[in-house]
Amino acid sequence: MKKLLPLACCMLLILVSSFTNETSAQTKPSLSNETPAQKIKRMQWWTDARFGMFIHWGLYALPARHEWVKNQERITNETYQKYFDEFNPDLFEPKKWAKEAKAAGMKYAVLTTKHHEGFCLFDSKYTDYKATKTAAKRDLVKEYVDAFRAEGIKIGFYYSLIDWHHPDFPIDKVHPQRPLTDSDTAYARLNKGRDMAKYRTYLYNQVTELLSNYGKIDILWLDFSYPEKYGKGKNDWNSVALIKQIRKLQPGIIVDNRLDLGDYADGEDFDTPEQVSPEELAKYKGKTWETCQTFSGSWGYYRDENSWKTHRQLLDLLISSTSNGGNLILNVGPTARGEFDYRANNALDSLSHWMHANNKSIYYCSFAPDTYQVPSNDKLTYNAAAKRLYVHLFEYPADGKLLLPGYKGKIKYAQFLHDNSELKMMEQGNDILLTLPEKKPVYEIPVVELTVN
């Protein structure tokens, strides 16, 4: 008995601790009365859309060497001022941007109204550090909203919680003027006279402006929290009050997960895995998420960056997102003159070509039921309402034969998606063998559409 006692205690402890873990997950406090079903409905258009355009544009387009240049090179406001003085986007025509986004099949867009550098593309009444005070002399956010809305694209705003220009924003570990070595005294010295409460009001006021002055806003992408030591999180931003205000002003809006409100059942609408590989996306299956990705590594225009993703890599990201039940938001960093550069245009053109022919395997689709085995090297997506299964041919079969393992009795009809041309089916034991033309169609990743029983 004496021997068994410690064991029993141990088991009791394990039981109690697993019970409390479970209950704490279930009883996260809520900030609203929305039910899970209502949330799914609110987000339906976004889940159906699957594909959006991110646009990172600000003064950092002038140095053209990363949107974090101010941080990386520890640039002061005084030195950074030259980019404000020189900002003159004479080729800015958001109608062109919107047309390109639409052609590429992107259903929503998210523009940086203010990035970490603090410069506002919109006409905020709380600062002079804004586009209207530059040679552009106008509210560039308004023009973006009008242009994208006219193309039927949903409107999103990115707004940086961080601000490296505001005099009251306390210097922290990612600030350009951070100390060389972290210590309480170093930060205290640097932050003399800075007042986070004042910055918090500024932030609240600007978010209020953005959600009051531009009509219906579909998405708000707030960026970002780093609640570790010498960082900032929900108490700094007063995230609870902020999200309440956001939902009050725009009841239907969809908000990302970077406000540090993970302790609340409804503090975030979607996860934001950033620049992860297509393989890693499998981890998010079953959650609500959007992966954000760049063409070349940085978000802002970076002239000398040569690590541009290939057309195939971009398609892989798009297909892998859908096939794991998530969205892809792909970023363009326009130049300081206000256009997409030729590399971005090429990438978007190739996506347009593919999406024109194959978008049915993306929109309204998600991961396929487990009953369908994934043919080797391929990726599946599935439209449950239309009862269509899409096989993305990452490796085109050299002999023109595609084996669908265990598909006998499950498929009614097979065709190429891009031209609805029939693909002959043959039963082989438990499998189905499709006959494809030996010559691969012109699409980098052709798609087979299967009507399922």
Select 89 or 273, whichever has its Cβ closest to ligand GLC.
273
Select 56 or 418, whichever has its Cβ closest to ligand GLC.
56
CB 324 within 8 A of CB 367: yes
CB of 161 to ligand GLC, least distance (A): 10
Which residue from 75, 47, 37 is spatially nearest to 385, judged by alpha carbons? Answer: 47
CB of 175 to ligand GLC, least distance (A): 13
Select 110 or 336, whichever has its Cβ closest to ligand GLC.
110
- Order of strands, sheet of 51-55, starting from the edge strand that comes earlier in the sequence: 254-255, 219-223, 154-160, 108-114, 51-55, 327-332, 290-293
Residue 14 region, left (φ>0) first, then alpha (ψ -120 to 50), else beta? alpha
Q: What is the DSSP letter of 228?
A: S
Residue 242 phi, psi (nearest 5)? -65, -50
Q: Measured at CB, which residue is nearest to ligand GLC?
A: 292
Select 170 or 406, whichever has its Cβ closest to ligand GLC.
170
Cβ-based neighbour number of residue 301 at 10 Å: 28
CB of 452 to ligand GLC, least distance (A): 36
Q: Which DSSP string do the residues of 121-189 spell out, in sequence order?
A: SS--TT-S-BGGGSTT-S-HHHHHHHHHHHTTPEEEEEEES--SS-TTS---TTSTT--SS--HHHHHH
Select 57 or 416, whichever has its Cβ closest to ligand GLC.
57
In 62-103, which ranges are E strands?
Answer: none
Which residue from 415, 391, 388 is spatially nearest to 404, judged by alpha carbons? Answer: 391
Select 330 or 447, whichever has its Cβ closest to ligand GLC.
330
Q: Which helix (H) or strand (E) holds 322?
A: helix 311-323
The structure tokens listed for 291 are 């992966």
Select 225 or 324, whichever has its Cβ closest to ligand GLC.
225
CB of 27 to ligand GLC, least distance (A): 30
CB of 409 to ligand GLC, least distance (A): 45
CB of 20 to ligand GLC, least distance (A): 33
Q: How far apart are CA 44 and CA 327, in angstroms?
A: 12
Select 144 or 224, whichever has its Cβ closest to ligand GLC.
224
Select 101 or 448, whichever has its Cβ closest to ligand GLC.
101
CB of 223 to ligand GLC, least distance (A): 5
Q: Which positions lie near ligand GLC, rule CB under 6 A?
A: 56, 67-68, 223-224, 274, 292, 299
Handedness of CA 343, 390, 274, 33 (dihedral sign): positive
CB of 298 to ligand GLC, least distance (A): 8
Identify whether 54 is preceded by a cis peptide bond (ω within 30 of 0): no
CB of 11 to ligand GLC, least distance (A): 44
Counting Cα atoms < 13 Å in the Cβ hemisphere of 355 gives 26
